Amino acid sequence: MTRHSNIHIISILYLISVFDTVMSIKIKKMWCIMQVSKRVLQLKDSPLRKLTPLIEAKKKEGKTFIHFNIGQPDLETPQCFFDAIQNFKGNNVPYAPSLGIPPLIEAIQGYFKHQGISFKSNEIIVTTGSSEAIFFVMNAICDPFDEVLIPEPYYVNTVSFMKQLDVVVKGIPTYASDRYHLPSMQDIETHITPRTKAMLLTHPNNPTGTVYSEYEMEMLKEIAIKHHLYLVVDEVYTGIVYDQIPSRSFASLEDLDDHVVIIDSVSKRYSSCGARIGAIASRNHNLMKEIGKLAQARLSAPTLEQIGAVALYNIAPSFIKKTAEIYECRRNVMVNALKDIEGIHVSVPEGAFYCLVDTPFHSAEAFALWCVEHFHVNHESIVVAPAQDFYSNPKSGAHQIRLAFVHDVVVLEKGLNLLKEAIKQYTFVQKGINV
Ligand SMILES: Cc1ncc(COP(=O)(O)O)c(C=O)c1O
């Protein structure tokens, strides 16, 4: 081939590639194909909320639902929260300090003090709910492809945060037969690799209601020290424990100051989900300094809600005890009703306000959808949360549903009767029998 024909071919190839680029841009413009990141594409809709559009459509048709799917407490937000915000005297709502307003940091210190735990003011950062707290902590601890151990089934949104940070979740399997308590230290250690940075726990656990024993806490401490791991503990359900099980914060573990990071929030204990106030507490000053930069970049957590949260954190601990008694009564109602339903198994929760239930169905997700779409008694139905996304291997939880007991006893009983009927009817549907 001559030099001329070579140049000719290269020119043609160049023109083709330019044409290709121009055309693909034109096609994208023509069809409005705007690109989004691969990172968001790998995220899933929240299993707790993805039925919402269908539920809304059904409500417009006159169907009503008892919601067992979302862990939003129905109890009244304490009046002191509203009073504190109403007493705000300014004529402008300013940004708050990035790390939180001093009275709130002081109130959070006071809350821990009641548990015999001491945090200095620079060891607490106020966040926009515990969701932001988890995101900040993981962002500050992990680089992409680092690994975090999480007992599974787990709180599903945590995994979404990890994916956003390209952090790898390593599930530590736990089982209903052990009431979802942890496996042995040796078992847990098999999941640790040179890339493991942290263990992340929810205590008491969502969705299992497991409250870790003294023995488990000491074991986790030993693992954290031996393998130089952070122990990040989401304690948003602290105090909501049953059967007089002691509720101890991981912050009370000694000789673990650099390892332990506590995540907290007003959402659950004080029935204040929409306030969006949470906190990070840790004695690891280096880590807190770095998290401080993330807090600065988002300017501040909501100012007025922080003022309201001061009042919440200052409430006497007896309030939380009374709240736990209300949930304990509801738990008993739910567990007893569930034990009465043929074909299902429930692991009795020790804390938080969820029951994780084994159904007889291969796809609890299909059952949840059927309840919304087809099932009703006098135009009333239920919404349950399928549990498959609470596991790293969805097959593990494909037959499970999570039920939140965040209704008064009358509504709970009505909802559980509906569930009983739904399970009966769906069993027939599965067998191809018309109902
Ligand atoms: C274990 C756990 N952590 C965090 C959250 C989110 O809490 P927040 O409202 O403080 O962001 C929830 C909400 O259900 C939860 O169950």
- pLDDT tens profile 64-80: 999 999 899 999 999 99
Q: How far is the CA of 435 from the centre of ligand 1 (A)?
A: 38
Q: Whose CA is nearest to atom 16 of ligand 1?
A: 206
CA angle 13, 14, 16 (to 5 degrees): 65
Q: Residue 342 burial by CB count (10 A; 0-12/13-18/19+): exposed, middle or buried?
A: exposed
Backbone angles phi and psi of 395, in degrees to 5: -60, -35
Which pLDDT band holds residue 29 (cuts at 50, 70, 90)? low
Asked if 149 and 172 touch (Cβ cutoff 8 Å), the reply is: yes
Cα–Cα distance between 39 and 44 in angstroms, integer? 11
Residue 160 three-state SS: helix
> What pLDDT does 18 receive?
64
Higher pLDDT, 387 or 19: 387
Domains 52-75+318-430 and 79-313 share a fold: no
196 lines ligand 1 (CB under 6 A): no
pLDDT at position 13 over 80: no
Q: Indicate whether 3 pLDDT > 70.
A: no
267 lines ligand 1 (CB under 6 A): yes
Q: Is the pLDDT of residue 432 over 90?
A: no
- pLDDT band (50, 70, 90) for residue 228: very high
**Strand partners of residue 55:** none
Are the beta carbons of 308 and 275 closer than 8 angstroms?
yes
Residue 270 CA, ligand 1 centroid: distance in Å: 13
Q: What is the pLDDT of residue 113?
A: 97
Q: Mean pLDDT over residues 126-150, rounded?
A: 98
pLDDT tens digits, one per residue of 364-402: 999 999 999 999 999 999 999 999 999 998 889 999 999
Nearest residue to 333 via CA among 384, 408, 394, 271 = 408
Distance 73 CA to ligand 1 centre (A): 12
Angle 119-157-398 from CA coordinates, rounded to 5°: 135
Written as one letter, the residue type at 310 is V
| Residue 242 CA from chain centroid, whole number | 21
Instruction: Determine the 3-state secondary structure of 45 from DSSP.
Output: coil
Ligand 1 center–CA 394 separation, angstroms: 21
pLDDT one-digit tens code per residue, 172-225: 999 999 999 999 999 999 999 999 999 999 999 999 999 999 999 999 999 999
The reply to whether CATH 3.30.70.260 applies to domain 52-75+318-430 is no
User: What percent of the chain stands above pLDDT 70?
Assistant: 92
**Cα(302)–Cα(109) distance, integer angstroms:** 19
Residue partners of 244: CB distance under 8 A and separation at least 6:
none
pTM of the model: 0.90
Task: Please answer whether residues 105 and 121 qualify as being in contact, where contact means their C-beta atoms are separated by less than 8 angstroms.
Answer: yes
Ligand 1 center to residue 429 CA distance, Å?
35
| Whether the CB of 236 sits within 6 Å of ligand 1 | yes
The pLDDT score that the predictor gives to residue 6 is 63
User: What atom of ligand 1 comes closest to residue 265's alpha carbon?
Assistant: 10
Q: How far is CA 317 from CA 75, 114, 181, 221, 240, in A?
A: 17, 7, 27, 27, 12
Boundaries of every domain in the chain: 3-35, 52-75+318-430, 79-313
Is the CB of 202 within 6 Å of ligand 1? yes
Out of 3.30.930.10, 3.40.50.300, 3.90.550.10, 3.40.640.10, select the CATH number for domain 79-313: 3.40.640.10
Averaged pLDDT, 254-272: 97
With the most atoms of ligand 1 within 8 angstroms of its CB, the residue from 131, 154, 276, 356 to mutate is: 131
Pocket test for ligand 1, best of 266, 268, 271, 356 (most atoms within 8 A of CB): 268
Answer whether residue 20 shows pLDDT above 70.
Answer: no
Q: What number is the average pLDDT over the span 274-284?
A: 98
For the record, the structure tokens of 315 come out as 């409430």
